[in-house]
Chains A and B, each alone.
Chain A
C-alpha cells in the first residue's frame, strides 16, 4: 500500500482532483457555516439580480441567494452521488462475487438479469424506477443505485473469475475455510482496485443522473436546492439572468470533471502497465 501512496502523490492530476473533491466535501459538510443566507429565504426586493456585495453570485427569480443555493446543492449532489454509488457497490459486489465464484446457472441467471438492466438507457430506467417509487431524495438514491448495479456486478465478476482459480484460493479451501470466508477474506480484498476506479467514475455519473432527474422534476423536490433543479428553473430566465444558469452549471462541471479525472488517475496508478512512466 505504501507504493500506492507514493505513486498517488507523484501523480499531479490525482492530487489536484482529490484536493478539489475534499474541498467540495468540506463545503457540503460546512454548508450552514459557509452559506451567507438561508437557501430558501426569498428577498422580494432583489429578484434576478447580478453579483453584488450581499449576493456574490446574484439571486434567482424569487430573490434567493444563488451562492447559498449552490453550496447547499453541493450537499444534495454529494449525498445522492455517494449514497447511490454505495448502494450499487454493495449490491453489485455481492452479485458479482456470487456470480463469478459459483458460476454455472447462478452466474447465468444473475448476468442475464444484469443484461436486462443494462439494456435500458440509464436515464430511462432511473425515470421508470422513480415513477414507480415516487420522487424524493431517498427514492432518487435508490433509483440511481439500482441503475448502476450491473456495471459493478460485471466489474467484480470479471475480477473474481480471474482470481478464483489462483492457488491461494485453493489454499484457503485446503485449510478448511468456508465459502463466505473465501469470498470476503481471500477474493474481495483482491478486487478492490478495479472497484475503486469504477466507484470514482460512477460517482460523477450518479451526480449527473441526479441532476437530470431533478431537471425533469422527478428528483429532489423544490424548494430544496439541487443543481439540476436550479438549472431547470433557470432555463426560463436564461436571457434575463444568465448567472442563474451559469453558476450551477459551473459547479456541476467542476465536480464531475474532478470525479472523472480522479478515477482516471487512480486507474493509471493501479494499472501495472502504466508503472514506471
Chain B
C-alpha cells in the first residue's frame, strides 16, 4: 500500500451568517464531511457544479479558510494542528494556483518581484542566487527573462497564468492545488496551460489536486476523479472507471451532458430537474434525492454511506447498497 501524500477525513466547513440581530443564525454547509486521499505523483480532480463546495474544499485543505471540523493529513502530519509559524513553513510544500490570473497577481509588483517573494519569505538563497532561480523558473514556464521587469498588466491571461504557476512552483512544492486554473482562459490557451502543467508534473514529480467544473478538462488531466454534490463527495473512482461506468445518478447526468464530437452518435441526455438546492437548507436524507431519477423512499430519510462497487471506485448511493 502506497503512503498517501494527502489524506482528508470528514472535512467540514460551515459558514454561519447572521442577517439581523435577533434572527436565527443560518448555517451554510459549504463542505460537509469530505473524505479524499491523494497519492504522490497522481492528479486527483474534484468536479461539481458551481456552489458545490469544491473551491472551499481546496482552500480548507491549505487552511486558507479555517475548516470547521475534520482532519487534513499532509505527509502524515495533521495540518489543522499546526500553529501559525509551523503552518507558514508547511506551505512551502503545498501551493495554490488561482482561477483568475488577473486578480491573483499584485498589480504593483514586477514579475521578478512576484516570483522572488516566495523565496524571500522562506529565506532561500541570497539575492544573486534568488535572481538565478527566478530566471530559471520563468524560462521553465515558457516566458523569457527579459520580461521579469514588467508588471502583470502587460501580460495576457495565458501568460499571467504561467506566471501564477511559476510562482507556485518556485518553492518546489509537493502538492499543487489548482483551483479552476484554466476556466478563465480561452479554449486555445487552456490546452497550452494544461500541457504545461502535465510537463511540469513529470519534471518536478508533482501531485495535483485539480478543481474544475469542466469534465473534458478533467478527463484530459486526471488519474482519479471525485464528484462533489452539495458539499459531499458522491463518487470517487479512477478516470477510466468513472467515465466508462458512472454509477451515481448525479455522475451519470453530468457525463451525459458532455458534448460528444461525433454527429452520428446520439447519446441520451439525462436532464436534471430543478436547481442545486441551497447548502443553507439541504434536503433530508440523500441531498440529491429531489433531483434523482431513481429516488426511493429510503433516500428521503436516510443519508447513504460510501460503498466500494469495484476496486477503488466508491459511490455514496442507496442503489448500490440494496
- State the A residues within 8 Å of B (CB): 166-168, 170-178, 181, 185-186, 189-190
- Distance (whole angstroms) from the CB of A129 to the closest CB of chain B: 36
- Distance (whole angstroms) from the CB of B105 to the closest CB of chain A: 6
- In this assembly, does B294 line the interface, its C-beta being within 8 Å of a C-beta of chain A? no
Q: Which of B33-41, B44-52, B95-103, B218-226 contacts A (4 or more CB under 8 A)?
A: B95-103
- State the B residues within 8 Å of A (CB): 62, 64, 88-89, 91-92, 95-96, 98-100, 103-109, 117-118, 121-122, 164, 167-168, 171
Q: What are 26 contact pairs spanning A and B, CB under 8 A?
A: A166-B103, A167-B98, A167-B103, A167-B104, A168-B103, A168-B104, A168-B107, A170-B96, A170-B104, A172-B106, A172-B117, A174-B91, A174-B168, A175-B91, A175-B95, A175-B117, A175-B121, A175-B167, A175-B171, A176-B89, A176-B91, A176-B121, A177-B88, A185-B117, A189-B108, A190-B108
Question: From B59, which residue of chain A is reached at the shortest CB distance?
Answer: A170
A176 engages B62 (CB within 8 Å)? no
A168 to B88, CA, bound (A): 17
A175 to B104, CA, bound (A): 12
A189 to B108, CA, bound (A): 7
**Residues of chain B with a CB closer than 8 A to A168's CB:** 103-107
B88 engages A178 (CB within 8 Å)? yes
**Residues of chain B with a CB closer than 8 A to A173's CB:** 64
Identify the 9 closest CB pairs spanning chains A and B, nearest first: A176-B91, A167-B104, A176-B88, A167-B103, A189-B108, A175-B118, A174-B96, A168-B106, A171-B104
- Distance (whole angstroms) from the CB of A37 to the closest CB of chain B: 49
A90 to B104, CA, bound (A): 28
B107 engages A190 (CB within 8 Å)? yes
Question: From A169, which residue of chain B is reached at the shortest CB distance?
Answer: B106
- Distance (whole angstroms) from the CB of A156 to the closest CB of chain B: 16
- Distance (whole angstroms) from the CB of A91 to the closest CB of chain B: 23
A177 engages B64 (CB within 8 Å)? no
A128 to B188, CA, bound (A): 67
Pick the contact of A176 from B100, B107, B122 — CB < 8 Å? B122
Question: From A188, which residue of chain B is reached at the shortest CB distance?
Answer: B108
**Residues of chain B with a CB closer than 8 A to A181's CB:** 121
**Residues of chain A with a CB closer than 8 A to B92's CB:** 176
**Residues of chain A with a CB closer than 8 A to B118's CB:** 175-176
A176 to B164, CA, bound (A): 15
**Residues of chain B with a CB closer than 8 A to A166's CB:** 103
A172 to B104, CA, bound (A): 9
**Residues of chain B with a CB closer than 8 A to A190's CB:** 106-108
Given known contacts A176-B118, A186-B106, A189-B108, is B98 in contact with A171 (CB within 8 Å)?
yes
**Residues of chain B with a CB closer than 8 A to A185's CB:** 117
A174 to B103, CA, bound (A): 14
B167 engages A171 (CB within 8 Å)? yes
- Distance (whole angstroms) from the CB of B75 to the closest CB of chain A: 16
A186 to B113, CA, bound (A): 11
A170 to B64, CA, bound (A): 7
Question: From A181, which residue of chain B is reached at the shortest CB distance?
Answer: B121
A177 engages B117 (CB within 8 Å)? yes
**Residues of chain B with a CB closer than 8 A to A186's CB:** 106
- Distance (whole angstroms) from the CB of A176 to the closest CB of chain B: 4
A174 engages B62 (CB within 8 Å)? yes
**Residues of chain B with a CB closer than 8 A to A189's CB:** 106, 108-109
A170 to B98, CA, bound (A): 9
Question: From B118, which residue of chain A is reached at the shortest CB distance?
Answer: A175
**Residues of chain A with a CB closer than 8 A to B164's CB:** 171
**Known contacts A175-B95, A177-B117, A186-B106; can you find 14 more A-B pairs with CB under 8 A?**
A167-B99, A167-B100, A168-B103, A168-B107, A171-B167, A173-B64, A174-B62, A174-B91, A175-B121, A176-B89, A176-B92, A176-B122, A178-B88, A190-B106
A166 to B106, CA, bound (A): 9
A253 to B10, CA, bound (A): 69
- Distance (whole angstroms) from the CB of A146 to the closest CB of chain B: 30
**Residues of chain A with a CB closer than 8 A to B117's CB:** 172, 175, 177, 185
A186 to B107, CA, bound (A): 9
